[in-house]
Amino acid sequence: MNILEQLGVDCVSIDLVSSEKEAIIEEMVDMLDAAGKIPDRAAALTAILEREKKMSTGMQNGIAIPHGKSDTIEDLVAGLAIHKAGVDFASLDGHDARIFVMTLSPANRTGPHIQFLSETSRLLGDEQTRAKLLAAGSREEVLDILSSA
């Protein structure tokens, strides 16, 4: 799966402002809602927050992948956002998360969700790619970095 097929410039933010986990999630859901990618904002937010309650999606190396499944979603939806200073996301390595990849997928389909998470992990596993993303000056630059990774 190509992550760029799921991301458009309207699904990327390089300047998250929230400083707490739930607020970051809400800010990203609002971004996807404003982009017209989710039909039911409340259902999307609930799905992601409920998943987050089960176990933090803060990974390591400054990455968090908040995600959820909802009956209101027909096809996988994704967003990528950067928080320059970092936010405590209860990450596995104890470090603040700075790169956030959010995905919502249909409740009845697993394949695209797993493929997307796998591709995201591959791309963001590269330290140079992460550094370039954190230094990106525009949403378009983020997409260019991902396309060349």
The CATH number of the domain holding residue 142 is: 3.40.930.10
Q: Could you tell me the pTM of the whole model?
A: 0.93
What pLDDT score was predicted for residue 117? Answer: 81
Distance CA 137, CA 113 (A): 29
Query: Which of 15-19, 51-55, 137-141, 145-149 is predicted least confidently?
Result: 145-149
Taking only Cα atoms into account, the Rg of the chain, rounded to an integer number of angstroms, comes to 14
- Over residues 10-28, the pLDDT tens digits come to 999 999 999 999 999 999 9
- Positions marked catalytic: 67
Amino acid identity of residue 65, one-letter, is I
**In which element (H, E) is residue 108 found?**
none
Rounded mean pLDDT of 115-141? 92
Q: How confident is the model at residue 107 (pLDDT cuts 50, 70, 90)?
A: confident
Range list of β-strands (E), the chain: 12-13, 63-64, 67-70, 77-87, 97-106
Q: Indicate the number of domains in the chain.
A: 1
Domain that holds residue 63: 3-148
Please, how many CA atoms are within 13 Å of residue 16, restricted to the half-sphere of its CB? 31
